[in-house]
Amino acid sequence: MKPARFEYIRPDTLEEALVVLAESGDDAKVLAGGQSLVPAMNMRLVRPAVVVDLNHVDGLDAVSNETGSFSVQALVRQSDRRLLEHRLLSEALPHVGHFVTRNRGTVVGSVAHADPAAELPLCLVLLEGTVLARSPRGERVIPAGSFFLGPYTTALAPDELVVETRWPLPAESDGFAFEELTQRAGDFALAMAAAQVRGASIRVVVGSVTPTPTVLEVDPDRPGASAAAQVEPWGSIHASPAYLKQLVKVLVDRAVSRARQQAAA
């Protein structure tokens, strides 16, 4: 299939892009990697009147850790080797799509798309990271826990653009683990879980079985069972709700166990 007719705009500066978004409102979509947007347009699941291509905007491809957190700007590709410096990202990124799609897909694009089965939003919530949004009205920082409102729905206003995500840098003594189960390598997860262990504290986030990445309070002695008791998966043609609950139990147990091993090393 082919997309519906749209106007293509390729700004040279961030300011130009923000003006277009402000003028177009809900009729505009932003193109960075395009690995989610383009297929959705081709299937006519979305029909933007305007597509704003950021790929010729300078100054949006930096990765830095100078501010005490790991900052990733809007045009950094998921295959960028600089991302491997962050322990949790280095573990989760190989699960994101396929190598070919990671060459074009961006970290920020995955976060802004807010697919409930996407790995990077879950990791940002686990770390209590933040999203930096810009508009002609100014700039604001949105906590990851408040950013994701539902499937493909975020706290962004129509004129706002995510220019950066900020991933807190863990302490050396922290343990991390990411787990997911897919039907085939590169598919979206049927269920996924990530865990952070800091001393006696355990933080667990699950995804794909909930509308947004969801933080769960787990029992340290039975993390998987206590996590599964807190979710009500909707099920699909691929897996029943009961099966998905069992996946949550298994994946949370695995993630917590590996995170504890890391923390104790």
Partnered with residue 121 across adjacent β-strands are none
Q: Which of 55-69, 109-123, 135-149, 203-217 has the lowest mean pLDDT?
A: 55-69
Question: Residue 40 gets which letter from DSSP?
Answer: H
* Domain architecture of the chain: domains with CATH: 7-53 (3.30.43.10), 63-168 (3.30.465.10), 175-264 (3.30.390.50)
Q: For 186, left (φ over 0), alpha (ψ -120 to 50), or beta?
A: left
In contact, 76 and 110? CB cutoff 8 Å: no
In contact, 203 and 256? CB cutoff 8 Å: no
Q: What is the pTM of this model?
A: 0.95
Proportion of the chain above pLDDT 70, given as a percent: 100
Mean pLDDT, residues 117-123: 97
Residue 66, pLDDT > 80, answer no
Please report the pLDDT score of residue 187 as a whole number.
86
Q: What share of the chain is helix, strand, coil (3-state, %, to 5)?
A: 35, 25, 40
Residue type, 13: T
Residue type, 194: A
In contact, 31 and 10? CB cutoff 8 Å: no
- DSSP-derived 3-state class of residue 201: strand
- Work out the number of other CB atoms within 10 angstroms of the CB of residue 98: 12
Confidence band for 68, pLDDT divided at 50, 70 and 90: confident
Mean pLDDT, residues 47-72: 92
Closest CA to 63 of 119, 127, 106, 10: 106
Residue 195, pLDDT > 90, answer yes
Residue type, 225: A
**pLDDT, tens digit, for every residue of 150-193?**
999 999 999 999 999 999 988 889 999 999 999 988 888 999 99
Please report the pLDDT score of residue 171 as a whole number.
87
Rg (Cα) of the chain, in Å, rounded?
19
Mean pLDDT, residues 60-71: 88
Please report the pLDDT score of residue 76 as a whole number.
98
Residue type, 252: V
Please report the pLDDT score of residue 170 as a whole number.
85
- Phi first, then psi, for residue 197 (nearest 5°) are -115, 125
Please report the pLDDT score of residue 104 as a whole number.
95
Residue type, 5: R
